[in-house]
Structure 1
Amino acid sequence: MVAGASGDARLAVKRFVHLCVEVLNGYRPAAHLRRLSLPAEAAEVASQGLAGARRVTEMRRPRRSGDRRSARPSPVAVIKVNLCEPRPGAVEAAVALVTGERTWAMALRLELHDDSWCATTLRLI
């Protein structure tokens, strides 16, 4: 049986999710996700963040003339975070996100390396 995640793991997930939401909303470049990722996984994590930011931008574009969608876009917001720590030093999270009328999900894994939590996986669904 897997116990709840440690306080350190919860804080690391909170910080990483906050950074991801800033990327999705266009407040930060996706490259900022690299510094919170393992070097071997950094390119893929940043790529997933960039792809998500592009999807959000596309959703906000007007589809036809007179569409007011772009006038005041809804920011991406976190609805819920579920996490587990399958082993000490690894935490996985499923995050429900919303923007406007669209709900989507983000899955991620962070691992503890040299006293720092680093992303190894990020998927936006």
Structure 2
Amino acid sequence: MGASGDAKLAVKRFVRMCVEVLNGYRPAAHLRRLTLPAEAAEVVAEGLAGARRVAEMRRSRRGGDRRLQRAAPVAVLKVHLCEPRTGAVEVAVALVTGERTWAMALRLELHKDAWCATTLRLI
């Protein structure tokens, strides 16, 4: 059985925000509002670490070349999700930037009628 429509919408919103953080379009702290308060520090820290890795990768790829060179943004290749129980959704996301492929795993749980992240891992 697939995930509910609400769960899919929440996943889409959270993944989009994560990609914006990785691309440097928004600060990692913005993930806090979509995260359970008890887990917020860990989720934000993971988003920040991922954004730093992307930025470092882009700097090293450019090397000494100071010409204007726009790096490929992080983009979503594929999203797999399942709802193992009502009120919880687990997600695996394949990301790409340039020639590098990334994986992101996350879990959202329904709390007080709002889907909130409880776990975020970037690999």
Letter matched to residue 90 of structure 2:
E
Rounded to whole Å, the distance in 2 between the matches of 1:56 and 1:42 is: 21
> Equivalent residue for 1:66?
65
- What is the deviation of 1:67? 7.5
Letter in 2 for 1:66: D
Q: Secondary structure at the match of 1:46?
A: helix
Q: Quote the offset at 1:65 in angstroms.
A: 2.3
**SS in structure 2 of the partner of residue 41 of structure 1:** helix
Q: 1:4 corresponds to which residue?
A: 2
Aligned identity (percent) is 80
Q: What is aligned with 2:26?
A: 28
> Structure 2: how far apart are the matches of 1:99 and 1:47?
21
Count of residue correspondences: 122
**Correspondence list, 1:1-125, <5 A:** 3-62=1-60, 64-66=63-65, 71-125=69-123
The alignment yields a C-alpha RMSD, in angstroms, of 1.3
Which stretches in structure 2 are left out of the alignment for 5+ residues?
Answer: none
**1:64-116: CA deviation from partner (whole Å, max 9, x where unpaired):** 32386x71110000000000000000000000000000001000000000000
Give TM-score scaled by structure 2 length: 0.95
Gap runs ≥5 in structure 1: none
**1:31-63 superposed Cα distances (whole Å, 9 cap, x missing partner):** 000010000000000000000000000010045
* Amino acid of the structure 2 residue aligned with 1:113: H
Equivalent residue letter for 1:33:
L
Give the TM-score normalised by the residue count of structure 1: 0.93
